[in-house]
Structure 1
């Protein structure tokens, strides 16, 4: 919990440091920063084996977490933008089905940036819905054995890469400020290996497929205004 609080504080500091003075706010600006509260809800399915032999009925589940997050968006014009979403999160992996009695069988920190190309719908006044598509990369680090009922000496989780779809809306509050709600669905797969267990080498082929649901506040402005160097009008 302390790590999550520290991550949230860091996100707020970064977001605040990135936001320019209030006079730079522009509802048609070319850059937006959002600070969000985010639910990461994996839709997990796994095939588990020991020494290459499948364990019938065995499954695994990755925990749901609520975390702070930050997005950075660059607008090419009034319709098209590219967004970077990122955060840090810690999850547990629990045995399910035939291995449910093992409880927590791993835990890990993740760094899961998502990059999407977005289309923003114009002409709806202060309500600005959008859709997007892109990719997510998840780096797993500080993997642990959890409650370790498997008796593993270590756990290795392969980094994952997957496809993402997105839908959301920004609601203008004026002077460049927005409320935001956003949903992403990602499809990705990873391999988990438990080393030196009582069953030998245990592996799981895991579909994580998370829902990423966010809400928060955004600030839109023009990058050139930060340096008083604008030579062209902002996107309209």
Structure 2
């Protein structure tokens, strides 16, 4: 199902190729890049349910908020319609639990997103936009946390596919350089499984669903 979702998204972008050819023929360069600093506000990532393992309550696991670097590439099919690929490198996500005094452990998350955008161009140098697309998160280092002192080792699922929505704006200082502000919300979750408690026992979902305000620099070329 996840593979079908990704294929459908790529097919939708490919269907815009004739429009892209028309935009290129107008002589305007269709590429834009941005570098942003993003604050990732995990939305109270609670593991669903009230499962217990070896007497340990597992429904208060959450992820620690953090600043991350972000790089994205946009391609304008027309002056209003664009596709944006949001990239980063694998980021450590510190997992905390009410059962331990310090971090329970750390997993890595690589969360590229692909969005279709509409840019409003009737406000001079101020260019707001909205976007919608999919987020595909790959989790690494998945076995690197546990419920401290109990021998209850945990792992998480390998990936997550979810929705991402976006609003933002560029303020262009000239035809190439500008400042960007951006806000994205993504649905992101992963199953938490107890490895050394009951074989393969599903302890619920670590629901991350980050809200991601950002500020950065725009370069159009």
Q: TM-score, normalised by structure 1?
A: 0.72
Structure 1 counterpart of 2:14 = none
Matched residues in 2 for 1:202 and 1:106: separation? 18
Structure 2 counterpart of 1:93 = 95
Post-superposition CA distance 1:78-114 (Å, at most 9, x none): 100000111131111112xxxx132433311110001
Matched residues in 1 for 2:217 and 2:206: separation? 34
SS in 1 for 2:183: strand
Structure 1 counterpart of 2:184 = 184
Post-superposition CA distance 1:149-177 (Å, at most 9, x none): 34244523331111011000001011411
SS in 2 for 1:32: strand
Structure 2 counterpart of 1:195 = 195
CA distance 1:151–1:179, change in 2 (3 Å): same
Contact 2:46 2:59 in 1 (8 A): no
1:1-236 aligned within 5 A: 29-43=29-43, 44-47=45-48, 48-50=50-52, 55=57, 58-88=59-89, 89-95=91-97, 100-103=98-101, 104-143=103-142, 144-145=144-145, 148-153=148-153, 155-197=155-197, 201=201, 203-221=203-221
SS in 2 for 1:42: coil
SS in 2 for 1:73: strand
SS in 1 for 2:141: strand
CA distance 1:128–1:149, change in 2 (3 Å): farther
Contact 1:65 1:90 in 2 (8 A): no
What count of residue pairs does the alignment treat as equivalent? 189
Q: TM-score, normalised by structure 2?
A: 0.76
Matched residues in 2 for 1:166 and 1:46: separation? 26
SS in 2 for 1:58: coil
| Superposition CA RMSD, Å | 2.7
Contact 1:107 1:146 in 2 (8 A): no
The offset of 1:201, in angstroms, is 4.5
The offset of 1:205, in angstroms, is 1.3
CA distance 1:35–1:162, change in 2 (3 Å): same
The offset of 1:203, in angstroms, is 1.9
